[in-house]
């Protein structure tokens, strides 16, 4: 098979794949652009709705926060899911609950005064709806699988676009836009320039999105195999007949003692007796918003089951830990986050210019 035949095959794959999933890629890209700064946007919205937090001494203990929430929300109707600690002094604790209908609720607690500031159901909030649209088209597990495949197609489109880029023949031609040419040529130039600038980022976003949304692909297993890293064993607590789990304050103290140099960022509460108690921590050198360090404890004995050191990960974890930064654009701080806003807009620009190219195909 000659190079010309291969190039034509790649061209038709790129064209019809782009036309076929273009609208879904536009949805994923546009919502993704919003999600780049959703933490900052949502913090402002919550402050307008529930009020701001004034700095007033030391933060109250996590155990006190949970006691306050348990007193305000009937334990038989709500189950504790997790707790996120403030990343800034003026932010509240956020306690996540799940109700009987599997809806997720956020409860905001003042970190200094201890009172409940308010709550909201995640699924009906502005960010919950955008996230669900981005992740699953508001269609649950089926939608999640569909968007996972769309992410895979984005990866393929990025690779085929790179192959077809005319700059491989002459570099300057690959980045030149002839603004005085026929609209057909201007449209083509816009497509090639926008495409090559965004291609590598879209490929990374597509691959990571596919890996998360389609666990059946077993990408994590493949990475462990390729890097010759043994898969970690499933961790579990050993329930003791007649004994309740250790008090929350005790478990938190043990987690703090296990990694005293790292700041606690979140807590994941066990949903089953065999589940471990998990604490997320962030060491000073870590760049991830919540850190990659994790401490797992037996909820009954308090024994430290495992510590994942975010600064010294296994070979497989060193790769997997980059999925989040690559997908969300946080790997380079504020500059790459701003860049990812425009990367999220690029599928729409590419779909429109691609559609125009298709319409021009016989002229």
Q: Which of 53-57, 159-163, 178-182, 295-299 has the lowest mean pLDDT?
A: 53-57
pTM of this prediction? 0.92
pLDDT over 80 (residue 142): yes
Question: 100-131: buried (b, 16+ CB within 10 Å) or exposed (e) per residue?
Answer: eeeebbbbbbbbbeeebbebbebeebebbebb
Q: According to the model, what pLDDT value does residue 363 have?
A: 56
Phi, psi at residue 104, to the nearest 5°? Answer: -105, 135
Contact 353, 192 (CB under 8 A): no
Could you tell me if 276 and 299 are in contact, meaning their C-beta atoms sit under 8 angstroms apart? yes
CA end-to-end span of the chain, whole Å? Answer: 29
pLDDT of residue 362: 61
The pLDDT of residue 76: 80
CB 36 within 8 A of CB 344: yes
Average of pLDDT values for 139-145? 96
Q: What DSSP designation does 284 have?
A: T
305: which 2 tokens? 């089951």
Write down the pLDDT at residue 19: 94
- Assess contact for 1 and 319: CB atoms under 8 A: no
312-362 pLDDT tens trace: 999 999 999 999 999 999 999 999 999 999 999 999 999 999 999 998 876
The tens digit of pLDDT for each residue in 206-256 reads 999 999 999 999 999 999 999 999 998 899 999 888 889 999 999 999 999
What does the alpha-carbon distance between residue 236 and residue 254 come to, in Å, rounded to a whole number?
17
Tell me the per-residue pLDDT of 241-255, one tens digit each, with 9 for 90 and over: 888 999 999 999 999
CA 349 from centre of chain: 23
């Amino acid at each position: 098979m000659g190079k010309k035949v291969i190039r034509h095959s790649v061209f038709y794959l790129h064209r019809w794949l782009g036309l076929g999933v273009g609208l879904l890629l536009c949805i994923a890209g546009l919502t993704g652009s919003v999600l780049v700064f959703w933490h900052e946007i949502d913090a402002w919205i919550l402050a307008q709705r529930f009020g701001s937090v004034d700095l007033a001494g030391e933060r109250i203990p996590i155990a006190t926060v949970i006691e306050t929430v348990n007193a305000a929300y009937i334990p038989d109707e709500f189950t504790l899911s997790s707790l996120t600690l403030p990343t800034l002094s003026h932010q509240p604790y956020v306690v996540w609950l799940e109700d009987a209908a599997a809806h997720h609720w956020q409860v905001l607690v003042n970190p200094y005064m201890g009172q409940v500031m308010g709550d909201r159901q995640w699924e009906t909030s502005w960010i919950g709806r955008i996230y669900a649209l981005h992740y699953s088209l508001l269609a649950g597990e089926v939608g999640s699988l569909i968007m996972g495949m769309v992410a895979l197609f984005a990866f393929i489109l990025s690779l085929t676009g790179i192959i077809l880029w005319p700059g491989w023949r002459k570099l300057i031609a690959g980045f030149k836009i002839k603004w005085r040419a026929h609209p057909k040529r201007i449209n083509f130039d816009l497509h090639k320039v926008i495409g090559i600038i965004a291609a590598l980022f879209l490929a990374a976003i597509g691959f990571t999105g596919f890996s998360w949304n389609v666990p059946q692909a077993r990408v994590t297993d493949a990475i462990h195999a390729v890097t010759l890293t043994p898969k970690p064993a499933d961790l579990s607590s050993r329930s003791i007949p007649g004994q309740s789990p250790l008090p929350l304050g005790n478990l938190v103290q043990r987690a703090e003692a296990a990694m005293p140099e790292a700041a606690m960022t979140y807590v994941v509460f066990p949903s089953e007796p065999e589940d471990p108690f998990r604490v997320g921590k962030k060491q000073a050198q870590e760049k991830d918003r919540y850190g990659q360090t994790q401490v797992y404890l037996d909820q009954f004995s308090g024994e430290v089951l495992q510590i994942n050191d975010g600064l010294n990960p296994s070979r497989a974890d060193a790769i997997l830990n980059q999925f989040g930064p690559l997908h969300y654009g946080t790997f380079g701080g504020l500059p790459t986050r701003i860049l990812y806003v425009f990367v999220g807009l690029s599928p729409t620009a590419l779909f429109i210019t691609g559609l125009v190219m298709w319409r021009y195909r016989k002229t």
